[in-house]
């Protein structure tokens, strides 16, 4: 965990983001595979893929493209070409003020996220929780598990987003009036299920999380098979998340005035 911004008030609104297909409008790992010769992943590397851990697969990709002459600069250029999702610039600009705290919880890696944060000057992000990655002395990108977990069947072995969200809340020293979680993938369901009835879950429309919630009946106000307490707001643009952020900010200020 690392910090870019010192918070100034005790009462906060926490906004947690996924990274791929959420802050950026693409998948950083998939884009990096295009650096393979002819843009094709060899079959022996494909065979390493497991839906329980994407990280080992990507480690093999990094080794393969390094062996074929791709450098850190090539990878940085590839990541920086991925645009921000529509409306995300305006949303993150709004969240740069009190009482908001912005964090990222992602199954990407620290190098790729750092590239994007610096490229787009997203200095409102106070903490990033992801798989640590570094370049070795030969220029090979090495990636490690964020942690190894066996307690959550909704998550990959290397990263349980719900556990990370809860740990951040416990260790932050803040009493959050609201927690908002913005994501797109299946692994964003776990943190969503840990939100309270005053919180908000934002699934990106037509992506995996949205599809799971739709099948479970969480999007139409009907009876759901999931124990989901948070308010669900689907989104296609950051502007829809921004509208809710403005609402909860006003509510927070009104509550503060009553104290």
Range ranked top by mean pLDDT from 130-139, 213-222, 223-232: 130-139
Q: How far is CA 148 from CA 55, 172, 182, 233, in A?
A: 12, 22, 24, 31
Q: Quickly list DSSP for 131-150.
A: E-EEE-TTS-EEE--S----
pLDDT average, residue stretch 164-171: 97
Tell me the pLDDT of the chain averaged across its residues.
92
Q: Quick one: pLDDT at residue 47?
A: 87
Q: What is the pLDDT of residue 84?
A: 98
User: Which residues sit opposite 128 in a β-bridge?
Assistant: 104
- Quick: pLDDT tens for 41-85: 999 999 888 777 789 999 999 999 999 999 999 999 999 999 999
Query: What contacts 62, CB < 8 A, 6 or more positions away?
Result: 32, 140, 141, 142, 143
Q: Which residues contact 247 (CB under 8 A, 6 or more apart)?
A: none
Active site residues: 18, 20
- The answer to whether residue 255 scores a pLDDT higher than 80 is no
User: Per-residue pLDDT tens for 83-123?
Assistant: 999 999 999 999 999 999 999 999 999 999 999 999 999 99
Q: State residue 8's pLDDT score.
A: 41
Tokens 């005035």 map to which residue?
A: 257
pTM as predicted: 0.92
Is a pLDDT exceeding 70 seen at residue 258? Answer: no
Residue pLDDT, tens place only, 227-246:
899 999 999 999 999 999 99
Give the per-residue SS3 of 181-199: EEECCHHHHHHHHCCCCCC
Longest dimension (CA), the chain: 63
Query: What are the tens digits of pLDDT across the range 23-41?
Result: 999 999 999 999 999 999 9
What pLDDT was estimated at residue 259? Answer: 40
| Residue 36: count of CB within 10 angstroms of its CB | 16
């Amino acid at each position: 965990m690392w910090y870019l911004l010192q918070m100034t008030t005790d009462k906060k609104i926490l906004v947690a983001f996924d990274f791929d297909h959420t802050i950026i409008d693409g998948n950083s790992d998939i884009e990096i595979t295009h650096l393979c010769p002819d843009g094709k992943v060899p079959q022996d590397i494909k065979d390493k893929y497991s839906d329980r851990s994407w990280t080992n697969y990507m480690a093999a990709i990094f080794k393969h493209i390094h062996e074929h002459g791709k450098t850190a600069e090539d990878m940085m250029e590839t990541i920086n070409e991925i645009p921000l999702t529509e409306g995300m610039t305006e949303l993150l600009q709004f969240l740069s003020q009190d009482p908001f705290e912005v964090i990222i919880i992602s199954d990407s890696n620290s190098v790729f996220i750092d590239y994007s944060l610096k490229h787009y000057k997203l200095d409102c992000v106070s903490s990033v929780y992801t798989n640590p990655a570094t370049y070795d002395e030969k220029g090979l990108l090495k990636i490690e598990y964020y942690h190894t977990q066996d307690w959550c069947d909704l998550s990959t072995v290397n990263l349980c987003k719900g556990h990370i969200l809860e740990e951040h809340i416990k260790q932050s020293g803040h009493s959050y009036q609201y927690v908002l979680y913005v994501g797109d993938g299946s692994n964003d369901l776990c943190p969503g299920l840990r939100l309270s009835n005053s919180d908000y879950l934002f699934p990106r429309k037509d992506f995996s999380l949205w599809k799971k919630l739709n099948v479970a009946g969480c999007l139409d106000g009907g009876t759901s098979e999931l124990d989901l307490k948070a308010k669900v707001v689907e989104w296609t643009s950051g502007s829809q998340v921004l509208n809710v952020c403005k609402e909860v900010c006003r509510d927070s200020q009104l509550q503060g005035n009553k104290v």
